[in-house]
């Protein structure tokens, strides 16, 4: 049992697992930024270009609206009332969100790869003393 926990500890503290955790946390925060960019900046512009349409209110009612319901016929109000909706407008918003996020990540990875290519090559480590001595012995044996 100790070997199992030791193996798990070694796995959990490896750099790649910690890097993954940091990436997920930063990705979640970055996702919120992109979500706000799409929801608050991009979609209103697209909506304005298409005649003032509100994508969030593009939906089909799939179920029965309660008879005593007298609220607004908006996506938010109907979902709060528990009415099943086919919300394709919300899907369009999330799709635009994904495309923008994927494009930004593509640009970041592209730039990182460009920086890696432009970096000078790492200097090789010095040859160990043992290898130098073995080469010297080999060369002296060749000459005899």
Kindly state the helix (H) or strand (E) to which residue 61 belongs, with its residue range: strand 60-61
Q: Taken in order 114, 104, 48, 62, is the CA torsion positive or negative?
A: positive
User: In order of start, what are the domains of the chain with their CATH numbers?
Assistant: 2-123 (1.10.1200.120)
Q: How far apart are CA 92 and CA 53, in angstroms?
A: 13
pTM above 0.75, yes or no: no
> Per-residue pLDDT tens for 16-70?
777 778 888 888 888 888 778 877 888 788 778 877 766 777 889 888 888 888 8
98 pLDDT band, cuts 50/70/90, is: confident
Asked if 85 and 51 touch (Cβ cutoff 8 Å), the reply is no
86 pLDDT band, cuts 50/70/90, is: very high
Instruction: Tell me: pLDDT of 74 over 80.
Output: yes
Asked if 133 and 70 touch (Cβ cutoff 8 Å), the reply is no
Asked if 43 and 55 touch (Cβ cutoff 8 Å), the reply is yes
Instruction: Tell me: pLDDT of 15 over 70.
Output: no
> Per-residue pLDDT tens for 112-143?
888 877 777 778 888 999 999 999 999 888 88
Q: How far apart are CA 31 and CA 25, in angstroms?
A: 10
Q: What is the pLDDT of residue 48?
A: 81
Instruction: Tell me: pLDDT of 109 over 70.
Output: yes
* 3-class DSSP state of 66: coil
Q: What is the pLDDT of residue 102?
A: 83
Q: How far apart are CA 102 and CA 48, in angstroms?
A: 24
Q: How far apart are CA 75 and CA 80, in angstroms?
A: 9
Residue whose entry in the numeric block shows the structure tokens 């000459």 = 143
């Amino acid at each position: 049992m100790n070997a199992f926990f030791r193996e798990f500890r070694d796995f959990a503290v490896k750099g790649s697992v910690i890097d993954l955790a940091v990436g997920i946390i930063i990705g979640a925060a970055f996702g919120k930024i992109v979500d706000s960019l799409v929801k608050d900046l991009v979609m209103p512009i697209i909506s304005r270009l298409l005649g003032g349409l509100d994508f969030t209110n593009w939906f089909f009612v799939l179920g029965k609206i309660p008879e005593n319901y007298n609220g607004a016929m908006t996506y938010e109000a109907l979902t709060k009332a528990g009415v099943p909706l086919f919300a394709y407008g919300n899907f369009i918003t999330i799709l635009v969100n994904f495309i923008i996020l994927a494009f930004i990540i593509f640009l970041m990875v592209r730039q990182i790869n460009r920086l890696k290519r432009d970096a000078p090559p790492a200097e090789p480590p010095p040859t160990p003393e043992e290898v130098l001595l073995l080469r010297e012995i080999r060369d002296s044996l060749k000459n005899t």
